[in-house]
Structure 1
């Protein structure tokens, strides 16, 4: 009996995907609901949402945006250091200098995205509170 490792891995992967796809259906059948009724989190065995109003939602989004902001600035610093290293080690090679120049452009784009993410908090808050 000659079974290849690839076939076994693909069958195991297929089984895992099927379990992932079927598990939400099995969880929702746990709640006794009538057709057309949307079950609450407690009905299907989940804890209640910690977000109860718009201010808590905006606070959660602000926390996420803060993390994104920090990640983009860390990546930007790494890109700038890498670009500086490439400039220093280029030795007159125009291809390495072009590559370092592109890295500085990417770093500046990351800075712009990080700064826009700060403004996104205010935009999202105004959108959620006024509905416009």
Structure 2
């Protein structure tokens, strides 16, 4: 399953800017490890989204994984998260923006139910 955040504006003009994006993964399966691929793209006020991170990792069965991605000075960003296994019902994802002090940026919170589901990788 492929999840997409859409473009997230990250400027102080519209609120507090994030300097870090946190991707939380909870693997509810008691048997299967979860294989996750995160791609983070950004823009610095141009129409082109440039890949900044592509990160693949495994979340063992019954555990949680928290990954941080640094994005200071980024005008806007988007994430695509691919869950390769197990099923999407057993893998719960959330994304949060954090400011330079580590505080949550309220308008940069994406719960699993808020992701756009993509039929294929962009």
Smaller-chain TM-score bracket: under 0.3
Where relative contact order (Cα < 8 A, 6+ residues apart) is larger, the structure is 2
TM-score between both structures, scaled by the size of structure 2: 0.21
Instruction: Give the strand-richer structure, 1 or 2.
Output: 2
TM-score between both structures, scaled by the size of structure 1: 0.20
